Structure 1
Amino acid sequence: MSSYKIFFNMNFFQNFQSFLLIIILLFSFVNCQNIPNPRYAQTSSLIGKRLYFFGGDFTTNANVSIATNEVWYLDLSSSFNTATPPWNKDVGMPIGYKLGTSCVSPIDNSVFLVGGRMYIPNTGNINLGSSPVHVFNSNISLWTTPNIINGYNSSFEKRNQIQPVIDNNGKVYIFGGTNFTGLDSSSFFYYNDMSILDTTSMTWSTLAAFTNAPPPLLTNTATLLPTGIIVYIGGFKNLNGSFMPWPVSMNEIQTFNTKNFVWSAQVAGGASIGSRIAHSAVLTQNGEIIIYGGSIWDDRTISATPYIAKLDTSSWMWSIPDLSLNSPQLCYHSAALYGDYMIIAFGQIPSKSSSSYYALSNNLYILDIKSYTWVTSFNPNQSKALPPTTIQTPSPDNNLKNYLFIGIGIGAGMVLLGVFSVVGFLLYKRKRQNQYPKSIPTPGNTDRI
């Protein structure tokens, strides 16, 4: 082989190695970055085949709040393993956000952030002048803030720890909450009014006080049944305007009829379910409300028990599913139902927290509600026929470490591969130079190095 051909081959090989190394390093960087930080008090919404998560607080200091404006979503259109979820980051919100809620319009799939604590993004500074409503168009990843809400009640401006619902006509129903923001404020209030936001006309109305309305509620769940009944479960209640709220018994179920604006109280029976706050609830197709997680009302470091329960809304009877393994412990998390899968993400870990430190999670858990078995594989096309796979619940202390080790491990492996490739090339080059020493050009010699 001529020295010119050797030079050409070696140069091509060197360029290819450099290109490959750049691709490997870029892939490693993107892979390590595309994992959301642990957080709690975020809100979430299912839009088509995407499960969105908005905001949350990712500080572990129990005495400090740092609300993020990040927006993440899971792509549920294809199969994945819970160890490597298909996380995607969308455009951020105009404000940092926590302890509010997101409602998806059934008309155009717009997301309405209602109430909540609003911060200057990623700081501990609360922006008290923010609008109580922000709108997200998921089709074009665009945030807007309504300039005018007709009939808006200004007392709602700082409302948080609420759980609104939205009906098929695009009306958002908001009950209870508090204006307490965690700041050193001389006064704050609990509310038991019912507000309605018509998202089609951006009209706000606050209903007149009901004589039979429940006391102010917060950190409870609200579930809208197909009949138009809103079911409120758990949380705090405030009695007689006292500073200290009290737990709501899980046998004390408040309901509101959105068709005739009538409150009713249901007494639930069945299994004994402990009081709780910061839990989640999803509605199944057969009319059962599955509640998950939470902590006891007066100590966020103690998990509520049992960790999972279901309420039959036709008989108002509680039952406790038989799970083969212990459930992961979470509060202030997110939960959504997609087919037969209950998808649970983020939140605080009560048993690993203290009065000054919050242990946070960014793990993803999936419960097959047909078999009440934790699974590690998500398959959108075979959710009903998916064979149950037991899940080994990771240690809460290692929630973030597991993700970091995966990213760092892949990145380190890719870098080492690139290094070995470069070293291999240098050894190859030295060997070729020994076999083909440089020639001294002479007249008539057409070979080139």
Structure 2
Amino acid sequence: MLLLILVLAIHCWVIEGHLASTNVLIGSKLYTMGGIIDSQLDSNFFYYDFSIPFDASSPSYNSLDPIPVYTAWGSACVGGLTMSEIFLFGGIMNNKNDNSLSNNLIYCFDTINHTWTAPTISGIQPLRRREASSTFNPNNGWIYIFGGSTVKINNYNDTLFFNDFIILDSVALSWINIKSPSNATAPTRRASHTATLITNGYIVIIGGTEMTDDHALQDVDINQIWLYDTNSGMWMYQLGTQIQHAQCLLFINNIEMLSQITFIQFAEGDSVSARGGHTAVLAPNGNIIIYGGSNVDNIGSTPDLIILNVATSRFQWL
């Protein structure tokens, strides 16, 4: 009897569990970057190609060159003239040589050439923040960044929450700053929320965590849905049958250009619990699919998966 023994070397890349990573979908590829592993900031960067049949028991990930910095709690968005670039904004970004906070607020990855750069952005640079939302408008190449917070690790003396809107022109590489009057109606200062651009040009802001006047953290009412109209020229707040308007000035290179509109909805339907740290995507049928999240006590929100119908005059949970 002849016995043959074959020894094969099998190389595989195992993805460890991540906290505070960020994701971007370009075409069929879902890119994941940064995060925290075993209490340490990470710079891993990989993608999964959904054009390949998906095996949930053994998904095939593809590793890319690491991010130039260790990063977590940032936000990332598609952008650029050909919508083939990933813009990574804010969060904690530490230099790899000494673990100090990076001076760069934006890093950009070219998905065609597979290169990272730290682009120079003209205009007034916003304050660094974490857990902000970002969404891309393909009609003008603008990335809309809303809210977020700071912590002492970001070289701030205290925790601050924001409710300003920042716009990054990902084609011209410039900051477009919105300046709100003191009496303008706007969402509360919040972080860990989501922002989703729907087909009519509205950005839908859902959930998150906010800070009270006495600096306590609380959940944002999940049924209070804010809309930001990217097409019009005013801020608008609707509650029940009452509508209030407030101006908001948009500055491009210190020149007043136009106002913006905000609109608030209260969702109806099945009961869902408050949440932050969730994800939200626009489905092909126009609904917003929301997954995961937890409340300020770190208790998982229920149900895990919720769907928001934004086609009705009053939004509905399905």
Which interval holds the TM-score relative to the shorter structure? 0.7 to 0.9
Q: Distance in 1 between matches of 2:156 and 2:174?
A: 30
Aligned to 1:40: 19
Aligned to 1:238: 211
Confirm or deny that 1:139 pairs with 2:112: yes
Aligned to 1:113: 88
Deviation per residue, 1:401-433 (Å, 9 max, x gap)? xxxxxxxxxxxxxxxxxxxxxxxxxxxxxxxxx
Q: Distance in 1 between matches of 2:158 and 2:51?
A: 48
Q: Distance in 2 between matches of 1:122 and 1:281?
A: 35
Distance of aligned partners of 1:106 and 1:224 in 2 relative to their CA distance in 1, 3 Å threshold: farther
Q: TM-score, normalised by structure 2?
A: 0.83
Confirm or deny that 1:97 pairs with 2:71: yes
Distance of aligned partners of 1:173 and 1:130 in 2 relative to their CA distance in 1, 3 Å threshold: same
Instruction: In structure 2, list runs of 5 or more residues that go unmatched.
Output: 233-259
Query: How many corresponding residue pairs?
Result: 284
Answer whether contact 2:80 2:170 (CA < 8 A) is retained: no
1:46 aligned counterpart, secondary structure: strand
Distance of aligned partners of 1:201 and 1:185 in 2 relative to their CA distance in 1, 3 Å threshold: closer
Aligned to 2:278: 279
Percent identical residues: 31
Larger Rg: 1
RMSD between superposed Cα atoms in Å: 2.2
Distance of aligned partners of 1:196 and 1:39 in 2 relative to their CA distance in 1, 3 Å threshold: same
Q: How does 1:190-339 map to 2 (within 5 A)?
A: 190-210=161-181, 211-240=184-213, 242-260=214-232, 261-296=260-295, 298-300=296-298, 302-315=299-312, 316-320=314-318
Distance of aligned partners of 1:80 and 1:100 in 2 relative to their CA distance in 1, 3 Å threshold: same
Distance of aligned partners of 1:184 and 1:130 in 2 relative to their CA distance in 1, 3 Å threshold: closer
Aligned to 1:79: 53
Q: Distance in 2 between matches of 1:140 and 1:183?
A: 31
Q: Distance in 1 between matches of 2:90 and 2:145?
A: 9
Q: How does 1:398-409 map to 2 (within 5 A)?
A: none
Distance of aligned partners of 1:181 and 1:163 in 2 relative to their CA distance in 1, 3 Å threshold: farther
Distance of aligned partners of 1:317 and 1:199 in 2 relative to their CA distance in 1, 3 Å threshold: closer
Greater percentage in strand: 2
Answer whether contact 1:254 1:266 (CA < 8 A) is retained: yes
Which stretches of structure 1, 4 residues or more, deviate above 4 A after TM superposition?
A: 181-185
1:303 aligned counterpart, secondary structure: coil
Answer whether contact 2:79 2:86 (CA < 8 A) is retained: yes
Q: Distance in 1 between matches of 2:72 and 2:311?
A: 33
Deviation per residue, 1:354-389 (Å, 9 max, x gap)? xxxxxxxxxxxxxxxxxxxxxxxxxxxxxxxxxxxx
Q: Which of residues 131, 134, 143 is equivalent to 1:172?
A: 143
- The aligned amino acid for 2:297 is D
Q: After the TM superposition, which of the residue ranges 38-47 and 310-319 deviates more from structure 2? A: 310-319
Instruction: In structure 1, list runs of 5 or more residues that go unmatched.
Output: 1-12, 60-64, 321-449
- The aligned amino acid for 2:195 is A
Q: Distance in 1 between matches of 2:294 and 2:265?
A: 23
Q: Distance in 2 between matches of 1:181 and 1:37?
A: 27
